Amino acid sequence: MPGKYSPVFVIVCLGILVDIVLVNALVGQEKQKLDKRDRMAKDAAEEFIKAIWKQDLSATMKTVDVPFFWDGVENIKDRDALAARLKTMLRRDRSKIPFKTKAVFTFGKLPENSVSKRDLALLKAILDKSDRLVLIEFMPPGRDGIMIAVRFRGEKARVVGFRD
């Protein structure tokens, strides 16, 4: 008794099945890649905060790059100018303030009305759509937090700004 399906039909169905499996595998790889970038952004932001909490300018400068989004005021383009600004920030002892990462967002997926127009314009000047914004919450919950901008260049993640 001949089979119910023609060989052409079986080959086409198998081809479609293979395509579905490959697409799912590629989507899974892309998700892992994005998850890796989220972790890298989280790690870079936390390293930046820890260096500030230690009041260590040298360690802080190792975590940053320019241009640097300075709290919605301007993008600092010069490393020496950034170091001078960070040095004034390090005068305040924050070492006793616990913190945790609350969320990591892809900049290109951020709704435009979630930050001011000025902040968005400044951030667009320094971030690509695939760069990240990391929200840090100071403890106990409900205290102020900070948004940290993280830019990727190759496999390196650097802090390129913050908004209190």
Residues 28-72 pLDDT 10s: 433 444 489 999 999 999 999 999 999 999 999 999 999 999 999
Domain membership of residue 72 (yes or no) is yes
Task: Please count the structural domains in the chain.
Answer: 1
138: domain CATH number is 3.10.450.50
> Got the DSSP string for the chain?
---SS-HHHHHHHHHHHHHHHHHHHHHHHHHHHHHHHHHHHHHHHHHHHHHHHTT-HHHHHHTEEEEEEETTTEEE--HHHHHHHHHHHTTS--TT--EEEEEEEEGGGS-GGGS-HHHHHHHHTT--TT-EEEEEEETTTTS-EEEEEEEEETTEEEEEEEE-
Domain membership of residue 103 (yes or no) is yes
Q: The pTM is what?
A: 0.77
Domain membership of residue 142 (yes or no) is yes
Domain membership of residue 2 (yes or no) is no
pLDDT value, residue 115: 87
* pLDDT higher than threshold 90 for residue 22: no
Boundaries of domain holding 87: 7-163
Domain membership of residue 58 (yes or no) is yes
pLDDT value, residue 31: 45
Domain membership of residue 46 (yes or no) is yes
Domain membership of residue 1 (yes or no) is no
pLDDT value, residue 121: 94
